A and B are shown apart, each in its own frame.
Chain A
Amino acid sequence: MKASYETAALRLGGKELRSRFFLGTGRFPSPAVMQLALDASGAEVITFAVRRVDLESYEDDSILQHLGERGLTYLPNTSGASTAEEAVRIARLARAAGLGNWIKIEISGSPVTLLPDPIETLKATDILANEGFVVLPYTSDDPILCKRLEEAGAAAVMPGASPIGTGLGLLNPYYLGLIMEGAKVPVIIDAGIGSPKDAAEAMELGAAAILANTPIAKAKDPVKMAQAFAMAIEAGRLASEAGRVPKKRYASASSDPAGSLFLQPASVSHGGEGY
């Protein structure tokens, strides 16, 4: 019989979250697939973007009509903003629309890399935290910057693994590790995750949660992929709680050599069979 272990809940912004998978809602093939993937993911926090209504189109492409009464926590992002001022305006709009007070700050500094502008991101974090928002800034993987964001009042920091939508995985696990070591707030890996393996790696490293969108939405089967991610994130979290073995330069036998049938006292220390 399979034993079942509960991973610790994630406390964030006054909530207790069972799922450590934050799902982005963009680029799914259809609203129906998005909803199925959302259910398969078990995600309790979802992100979306704030945009002008397309006045030329009759179709209502509002995401909210597809979410229903799922009891989700909404994490609107400020994508499209290139200054702190613009991000603050989007945040206030989303809050005034009754979507809660969580906000993902996303201030792009370059259309090519979509990397976050660190100075504007820090500025917006400071302003919005003072206004009582639960501020989750998407940031570059700079340990010092992440510390500054935390000091400015960020409820969590969200360094990218690699640029948005690239699926390149953890480009700098060493820096991400430093951020996790130093942070007093949850570290959520946002952007650049390509597959469940990357998600598991980040979770093992000590991430509190994963925010992913493109690798699920653009997978051949987004619903299956959502579940795969959910499992990988949970596996990574369990592994992180369990504590992995240190890496070693050379092999060490997993079977005790004592009592070996062919024991030759001189060679015992180099036995390496039976991993």
Chain B
Amino acid sequence: MKERAWSDFELYVITASTHHPGRELVDVMEQTLIGGAGMLQLRNKTGSREDVLREAAALRKLTRAYNVPFIVNDYVDIAIQVEADGVHIGQDDIPFEEARRLLGPDKLIGVSTHSLEQALKAERDGADYIGVGPVYPTNTKPGKAAVTTAYVTEAAAQIHIPFVAIGGITLDNADSVLEAGARRLCAVSAIVGSEDPAAVCRSFLNKIGQYSGYAPQSVTIMLNGEQRNTSARNLEELVRELGQSHKRMVAELDGVIVSRGMWRNTVIQPRADIELIQFVGGG
């Protein structure tokens, strides 16, 4: 991946053979690459190790031809063996430090997260990107509670590494996810389960393109009793934007005190009523 940064991807596709019976994995995945997928992950939770290794080797060859990063779900050893670009791990899989130790510093490690807490931890651990989801209920991972677009908004405000919204995302609901702040989407069944994966990929990229370069939305808030517009996403950014970070102060949001340690995690919603208060000389 020398010509462009791996993190430039906007559409992330994951394999799911059960969604295209009768069609070859490599053929379907090639269609997604033709359609413009910027990152490809092999996920095979049910096949034997030999099956996974065979698929990984084939997809490695394919992705290399399209100059797209290739990620293996869970199997660190297979990722190393086929020279994949990295692995993706879930919350209950191999610990991050262990994966990093095995892969070395240069391989990518992605982590599935289902809450802001997990996302912040992954970021601290040194994950290269995170999955944020499942945004909607999904058949790919049945029984897993959807995190909704609220978590997407939180992640957009507070996560600095690339994050990919995932889970039940289709062309019908992609706009909501993008409006919530996602700039990278991942779809599984919506792409590999369709008759024309390349066309679906192009449609997804088209939608994402409508939001790229789309500046973080400016919101109107009340600040110390005066109306003000800000593009700050959280309280910490707001105070920094105001050039007031060095001051001792107390912040109140909608009548509730927010301790300084929580500023970064406090999302600024439209019409928020914010007071920044200090203690001054008085009798």
Instruction: Report B208 CB to chain A, min CB distance, Å.
Output: 37
Instruction: Report A148 CB to chain B, min CB distance, Å.
Output: 24
With a CB–CB cut-off of 8 A, which chain B residues contact A99? 279
Known contacts A52-B277, A55-B224, A97-B257: A60-B282 contact under CB 8 Å: no
Is B248 engaged at the interface, CB distance under 8 Å to the other chain? yes
Q: Evaluate contact between B280 and A48: CB separation under 8 angstroms.
A: yes
Cα A191 to Cα B282 in complex, Å, equals 12
With a CB–CB cut-off of 8 A, which chain A residues contact B243? 58
Cα A24 to Cα B249 in complex, Å, equals 20
Q: Evaluate contact between A55 and B281: CB separation under 8 angstroms.
A: no
Is A140 engaged at the interface, CB distance under 8 Å to the other chain? no
Cα A55 to Cα B225 in complex, Å, equals 12
Instruction: Report B186 CB to chain A, min CB distance, Å.
Output: 41
Q: Evaluate contact between B278 and A62: CB separation under 8 angstroms.
A: yes
Instruction: Report A149 CB to chain B, min CB distance, Å.
Output: 19
Is A50 engaged at the interface, CB distance under 8 Å to the other chain? yes
Is A25 engaged at the interface, CB distance under 8 Å to the other chain? yes
- Listed stretches A26-34, A122-130, A226-234, A249-257; interface member: A26-34
Instruction: Report B46 CB to chain A, min CB distance, Å.
Output: 53
Closest A residue to B275 by beta carbon equals: A52
Residue in A53, A63, A164 whose beta carbon sits within 8 Å of that of B281 in the complex: A63
Q: Evaluate contact between A62 and B279: CB separation under 8 angstroms.
A: yes
Cα A94 to Cα B279 in complex, Å, equals 9
Is B283 engaged at the interface, CB distance under 8 Å to the other chain? yes
Within 8 A of B (CB), among A69-89: 76-77, 79, 89
Q: Evaluate contact between A214 and B224: CB separation under 8 angstroms.
A: no
With a CB–CB cut-off of 8 A, which chain A residues contact B278? 50-53, 60-62
Cα A99 to Cα B279 in complex, Å, equals 10
Q: Evaluate contact between B247 and A53: CB separation under 8 angstroms.
A: yes
Cα A212 to Cα B282 in complex, Å, equals 10
Q: Evaluate contact between B250 and A93: CB separation under 8 angstroms.
A: yes
Is B128 engaged at the interface, CB distance under 8 Å to the other chain? no
Cα A34 to Cα B283 in complex, Å, equals 13
Is B242 engaged at the interface, CB distance under 8 Å to the other chain? yes
Q: Evaluate contact between A49 and B282: CB separation under 8 angstroms.
A: yes
Is B159 engaged at the interface, CB distance under 8 Å to the other chain? no
Cα A191 to Cα B283 in complex, Å, equals 8
Q: Evaluate contact between B277 and A47: CB separation under 8 angstroms.
A: no
Q: Evaluate contact between B281 and A28: CB separation under 8 angstroms.
A: yes
Q: Evaluate contact between B225 and A52: CB separation under 8 angstroms.
A: yes
- List B residues at the A interface (Cβ < 8 Å): 223-225, 242-244, 246-250, 252, 255, 257, 275-283
Instruction: Supply 19 further A-B pairs (C-beta < 8 A) apart from A52-B224, A93-B257.
Output: A24-B282, A24-B283, A49-B279, A51-B277, A52-B275, A52-B277, A52-B278, A53-B276, A55-B242, A55-B276, A58-B243, A61-B278, A62-B248, A63-B279, A94-B279, A211-B283, A212-B283, A213-B282, A214-B283
